[in-house]
Amino acid sequence: MTTHLQAAATLHNGTKMPWFGLGVFQVEEGAELVNAVKTALVHGYRSVDTAAIYGNEEGVGEGLRQGLKEAGLKREDVFVTSKVWNADLGYEETLKAFDTSLEKLGLDYLDLYLIHWPVEGKYIDAWRALETLYQEGRVKAIGVSNFHIHHLEELMKHAEIKPMVNQVEFHPRLTQKDLHAFCSEQGIQLEAWSPLMQGRLLEDPVLQDISQSYGKSTAQIILRWDLQNSVITIPKSTKKHRIQENADIFDFELSVEDMKRINELNENMRVGPDPDNFDF
């Protein structure tokens, strides 16, 4: 299991993807972003997740360059994810969007490229583009984000290559049990966005109680719970102490009983849109 910060899951095509990474949703271009990415790499992170719609790929690229240099790493030591936005879904459009993302990031390949949302009538063509990019070796792994079971089933009817990852909202109030089981059966790795429910879970009494018994923060308990559920997690932070603290979860293990207590907090509650009902 995940015993250290560089531990990696093996995706169904053999690609290794770190269990833990840095998310940069809602972090604007600028020094704070560059610093966050650099700090994460220097402190042992090996995975960074961005998206075209975040409007911060250039800053992420700059942070990567500075971080690689400072940490004495090579490009292939770091796993970089980006996502194609809804307005660019379509075969040619998606290929073009990928080129734009690469250019902004200043990279010559991506480790993982995802379809950001399952826009009806568009994601099949976009998937064909991802398959092309994968077959050309321009991306090491391809996947989706915010796909329900029925979206995945529909996609797989038309796909030559099965998605390697499904990145979804996942936290103790939204455990996505059926989706998690389906993805496990299909060999699709589940990944959590908003693992801390945008901070809303940090005051939860059950989680606080558990955190006290391990001498860890509530955030650390939740992130450890992700890993013990075999879910990749990418908490967002721009503060150095928080970036370090979030990753300090490899020196303890939650008991079966505590895992169960956290699982039981599920209320099917979302902070983001429902993938069956969004209008963007």
Confidence of residue 27 (pLDDT cuts 50, 70, 90): confident
Which of residues 27 and 210 earns the better pLDDT score?
210
Let me know if residue 91 belongs to a domain: yes
Is the per-residue pLDDT at 29 higher than 70? yes
Structural domain contains residue 204: no
Q: Summarize pLDDT for 201-231 with one digit per residue, the tens.
A: 999 999 999 999 999 999 999 999 999 999 9
- Two tokens, residue 229: 């559920």
Q: Buried (b) or exposed (e) across 131-153, using 16+ Cβ within 10 A?
A: ebbbeeebbbbbbbbbbbeebbe
Listed residue (204, 222, 255, 239) closest to 20, CA to CA: 222
Q: 90: Cβ–Cβ under 8 A, 6 or more apart, which residues? A: 122, 125, 126, 129
C-alpha to C-alpha distance for 60 and 105, rounded to whole angstroms: 7
Q: Is residue 220 part of a domain?
A: no
Task: Name the band, by pLDDT with cuts 50, 70 and 90, for residue 26.
Answer: confident
What value does the mean pLDDT of the chain take? 96
Residue 54 known to be catalytic: yes
Cβ atoms of 224 and 252 within 8 Å: the answer is yes
- Residue 2's pLDDT is 66
**Residue 245 domain-assigned (yes or no):** no
The one-letter amino acid code at 86 reads: N
We report the CATH number of the domain holding residue 159 as 3.20.20.100
How many separate domains does the chain show? 1
225 inside domain:
no
Q: 234, 242, 146, 247: which is closest to 192 by C-alpha?
A: 234
Task: Please state the pTM of the whole predicted model.
Answer: 0.97
Say whether pLDDT at 1 is over 80: no
Average the pLDDT over 222-245 and give the result: 96
Q: Which of 169, 85, 179 is nearest to 123 (CA)?
A: 85
Strand pairing report for 8-10 and 47-49: unpaired
Closest CA to 22 of 55, 2, 45: 45
Residue 82 lies in a domain: yes
Catalytic option among 45, 54, 123, 134: 54
Q: What is the pLDDT of residue 269?
A: 97
Distance, in Å, from the CA atom of 120 to the CA atom of 122, rounded to the nearest integer, reads 6
Note whether residue 268 is domain-resident: no
Q: How far apart are CA 116 and CA 53, in angstroms?
A: 9
Q: How far apart are CA 170 and CA 89, in angstroms?
A: 24
Residue 181 reports pLDDT greater than 70: yes
**Domain range enclosing 186:** 8-199+231-239
SS (H, E, C) the chain: CCCCCCCEEECCCCCEEECECEECCCCCCCHHHHHHHHHHHHCCCCEEECCHHHCCHHHHHHHHHHHHHHHCCCHHHCEEEEEECHHHCCHHHHHHHHHHHHHHHCCCCEEEEEECCCCCCCHHHHHHHHHHHHHCCCEEEEEEECCCHHHHHHHHHHCCCCCCEEEEECECCECCHHHHHHHHHHCCEEEEECCCHHHCCCCCHHHHHHHHHHCCCHHHHHHHHHHHCCCEECCECCCHHHHHHHCCCCCCCCCHHHHHHHHCCCCCCCCCCECCECCC
Please report whether residue 173 resides in a domain.
Answer: yes
Paired tokens of 5 = 């910060």
Check whether 52 has a pLDDT greater than 90. Answer: yes
Q: Which residue has the tokens 């090579």?
A: 74
